[in-house]
Amino acid sequence: MKTYRGYEFKRAVVIGIHKICSDLGLRPVEVRWDAGAQTACINKSGSVILANVKDDAVLTQGDLMRYVGMAVHELLHWMYTDFDAVHSAYAHGQYIAQLHNALEDAWIEGKGIKAGLTGNIEELLSALINGMVAEGLAYKSRRGEAIDWSDPVQYPFVLAVYGRKHAKIKVPLALGLEPIFAEAVKRLNTCGNSWDTLEVAKWVFDQLNNVNTKPEDEPVQPPINPTPPSDDEGEDGDGGEGDDENGSGGDSEQPTGGDQGGDAPTPKPDPAKPPTKDGETVKAREVEPTANPPEGAGSGGSYSTDDVMRKGYHTRADNPRTFPIDF
């Protein structure tokens, strides 16, 4: 099993990011390693932030695949997202902004997969979202409580998973969410830009606030019990089977109910609840891919990217080359 020291790992990630930018004809970006970061992000100026790792940490190819997957995701924002629309979304409140982020994430990843921007882009992005979902399904609080998937705090994240056709592990849907999310994905597939995805996000928010007036007998999607990936193989990333327009869709592989291999039946999720209560909107969970490094490896060390940074402006190629990202 190939391993990397932290300083080697960071150098490989940064060089990989600049290679991807160059091969896709994108303007170069600046990469910053932040000890306090948990979520990968990029701004309209092209500054990418990733969670720092210690220089002497030992990381695996699975860790590298996760970070490169996050880097690809952020570069898809750099390629497709209108950051003015993202800024405008926050004017409508944090919850709508997270709904928009969820839909935008599914939209850009679908476009990137459909375009085949890298030889293994679907594998990378599938592994990234599957790993996030597996962690969410396995999560237990210090009090031993699992995530309450009927809590509206979780709905933007659930939508972010539902909207990705390449997400092979799904999270449970609270009763009443299925018709809303299915229609949202249908509308997402007609979107041409980030302003269009914002309109879908506002529509979803309005529907969620009327969710209790809708029938509660729609099909319920229970979770799959995920198998944690081994360190030497990375997260599960077997890719998908084709794509509809823009690559998003709620019609990907989903369980439809019944037992999941155990003795007890899968519990029936509670009815969905509106994200507003007494005129106040709840604060939604973040939906961007998390950049948390492995336990014991993060928040330390230093690294300069000066040796691999190239300043200047590169125009985007009309027909970007397709290439694999090797590990």
Instruction: Report the DSSP beta bridge partners of residue 49.
Output: 32, 41
Mean pLDDT in the chain? 76
Distance CA 161, CA 167 (A): 6
pTM: 0.74
Nearest to 6 by CA among 46, 63, 44: 63
Which structure tokens are listed for 221?
A: 């999607």
- Residue 324: is its pLDDT beyond 60? no
286: exposed, middle or buried (Cβ count in 10 Å: 0-12, 13-18, 19+): middle
Poorest-pLDDT segment among 93-107, 123-137, 190-204, 240-254: 240-254
Q: What's the half-sphere exposure (Cβ side, CA atoms, 13 Å) at 277? A: 8
- Residue 236: is its pLDDT beyond 60? no
Q: According to the model, what pLDDT value does residue 268 have?
A: 63
Distance CA 135, CA 143 (A): 17
Q: 13-42 pLDDT, tens per residue?
A: 999 899 888 888 888 899 999 887 777 788
Q: 123-171 pLDDT, tens per residue?
A: 989 999 998 898 888 887 777 788 889 999 999 999 999 999 999 998 8
Which structure tokens are listed for 277?
A: 């209560």
Q: Which residue has the tokens 């998973």?
A: 161
Q: According to the model, what pLDDT value does residue 111 have?
A: 95
- Residue 237: is its pLDDT beyond 70? no
Q: 209-229 pLDDT, tens per residue?
A: 998 655 545 554 544 444 434
- Residue 197: is its pLDDT beyond 50? yes
Q: What's the half-sphere exposure (Cβ side, CA atoms, 13 Å) at 325? A: 29
Q: 251-292 pLDDT, tens per residue?
A: 333 333 333 334 444 456 688 999 987 778 999 988 887 765
SS3 of 268, please? coil
Q: According to the model, what pLDDT value does residue 8 have?
A: 92
Q: According to the model, what pLDDT value does residue 44 have?
A: 84
Q: According to the model, what pLDDT value does residue 190 have?
A: 96
SS3 of 199, please? helix
- Residue 244: is its pLDDT beyond 70? no
Q: According to the model, what pLDDT value does residue 194 have?
A: 97
- Residue 245: is its pLDDT beyond 70? no
- Name the residue ranges covered by the structural domains of the chain: 3-281
